[in-house]
Amino acid sequence: MDDTRVIEIKKSVFADNDKDAALLRRELKERGVFLLNLMSSPGSGKTTTLIRTINLLKDKMNIAVMEADIDSDVDAVKIKEGTGIQSIQLHTGGMCHLDAEMTRQGLDNLELGGTDLVILENVGNLVCPAEFDTGSSANAMILSVPEGHDKPLKYPLMFSVCDLVLVNKIDVMPYFDFDMDKCEEYVHLRNPKAQIIPICAKTGEGVGKFAQWLEQKVEEQKL
Amino acid sequence: MDDTRVIEIKKSVFADNDKDAALLRRELKERGVFLLNLMSSPGSGKTTTLIRTINLLKDKMNIAVMEADIDSDVDAVKIKEGTGIQSIQLHTGGMCHLDAEMTRQGLDNLELGGTDLVILENVGNLVCPAEFDTGSSANAMILSVPEGHDKPLKYPLMFSVCDLVLVNKIDVMPYFDFDMDKCEEYVHLRNPKAQIIPICAKTGEGVGKFAQWLEQKVEEQKL
pLDDT tens, residue by residue, A55-90: 999 999 999 999 998 888 889 999 999 999 999 999
**Inter-chain residue contact A126 with B72, CB threshold 8 Å:** no
Using an 8 Å Cβ cutoff, are B99 and B1 in contact? no
pLDDT (tens digit, 9 = 90+) per residue, A177-197?
999 999 999 999 999 999 999
Phi, psi of B96 (to 5 degrees): -90, 5
Residue B179 near residue B149 (C-beta atoms within 8 A) = yes
**Is A199 strand, coil or helix?**
coil
Whether residues B71 and A156 touch (CB distance < 8 A) is answered with: yes
pLDDT in tens, A198-215: 999 999 999 999 999 999
Chain B residues whose CB is inside 8 A of the A43 CB are 41, 144, 146-148, 151
* A75: closest CA of chain B, how far (Å): 10
Residue A2 in this model has a pLDDT that exceeds 50: no
Distance CA B159, CA A42 (A): 14
DSSP-assigned letter for residue B195: E
Is residue A125 predicted with pLDDT exceeding 50?
Answer: yes
| Minimal CA separation from B116 to chain A, in Å | 29
Give pLDDT tens digits for B27-60: 999 999 999 999 999 999 999 999 999 999 999 9
The 3-state DSSP class for residue B38 equals strand
Task: Find the closest chain A residue to B124 by CA distance.
Answer: A126
**Which chain A residues touch B if contact means CB-CB below 8 Å?**
41-44, 69-72, 74, 94, 96, 123-128, 131, 144, 146-148, 150-151, 153-157, 169, 171-172, 175-176
Question: What is the predicted pLDDT for the residue at A8?
Answer: 82
Compare all CA atoms of chain A with the CA of B44 and give the residue at the minimum distance: A147
Residues forming beta bridges with residue A143, ordered by sequence position: A167
Beta carbon pairs, A and B, within 8 Å: 107
Q: Which amino acid is at B139?
A: N
Radius of gyration of chain A (CA): 16
The alpha carbon torsion through B132, B133, B135, B138 (nearest 10 deg) reads: 120
R_g of chain B computed on alpha carbons: 16
Distances (CA, A) of A54 to A134, A171, A215: 21, 21, 11
Query: Own/partner pairs for B214-219, CB < 8 Å, 24+ apart?
Result: B214/B36, B214/B53, B214/B57, B214/B117, B215/B57, B215/B60, B215/B61, B217/B34, B217/B36, B217/B137, B217/B138, B218/B34, B218/B61, B218/B116, B218/B117
Helix orientation angle between A17-30 and A100-107, rounded to the nearest 10 degrees:
30
∠ CA(A98), CA(A104), CA(A107), 5° rounding?
110
* DSSP 8-state symbol, B37: E
| Residues in chain A closer than 8 A to B148 (CB atoms) | 43
Among B49, B71, B127, B161, the residue to mutate for chain A (most A Cβ within 10 A): B127
| pLDDT, tens digit (0-9, with 9 covering 90-100), for A37-59 | 999 999 999 999 999 999 999 99
Residues in chain B within 8 Å Cβ distance of A127: 70, 96, 123, 125, 128
**CA distances to A51, A155, B41, B170, B216 from B125, in Å:** 25, 11, 5, 21, 27
pTM: 0.90
A72 interaction partners in chain B (CB closer than 8 Å): 150, 153-154
Q: How far apart are CA B7 and CA A223, in angstroms?
A: 49
Which residues neighbour A214 within 8 Å (Cβ) at sequence distance 6 or greater? A36, A53, A57, A117
The answer to whether B40 and B144 are in contact (CB under 8 A) is yes
Q: Which stretches of chain B score pLDDT less than 70?
A: 1-3, 12-14
* Edge-to-edge strands, sheet with A117-121: A6-8, A86-91, A63-69, A117-121, A34-40, A138-144, A164-168, A195-198
What is the spatial distance between Cα B178 and Cα B163, in angstroms, rounded to a whole number? 22
| Residue A153 with chain B: CB contacts under 8 Å | 71-72, 74
Q: Which residues of A touch B74 (CB under 8 A)?
A: 150, 153-154
Query: Letter for the amino acid at A1?
Result: M
Collapse the DSSP code of A19 into the 3-class scheme (helix H, G, I; strand E, B; otherwise coil) and give the result. helix
State the average pLDDT over residues A16-33. 95
Residues of chain B with Cβ-Cβ distance to A42 below 8 Å are: 41, 126, 147, 151, 154-155
Burial A119-154 (b: 16+ CB within 10 A, else e): bbbbbbbbbbbbbbbbbbbbbbbbbbbbbbbbbbbb
Chain A contact probe: residue of B6, B48, B74, B96 with most A CBs at under 10 A: B96
According to DSSP H, which parts of chain A are helical? Answer: 17-30, 46-57, 74-83, 100-107, 151-154, 156-160, 180-190, 207-222
What is the model's pLDDT at position A1? Answer: 40
Instruction: Quickly list H helices, B10-99.
Output: 17-30, 46-57, 74-83
Q: CA-CA-CA-CA torsion for A154, A156, A157, A161, nearest 10 degrees?
A: 130
ipTM: 0.86
Query: How many angstroms separate the CA of residue B41 from the nearest CA in chain A?
Result: 6
Instruction: Give me the percent of chain A exceeding a pLDDT of 90.
Output: 86
**Nearest by Cα to B133 from B5, B28, B31:** B28
As a whole number, the mean pLDDT across chain A is 94
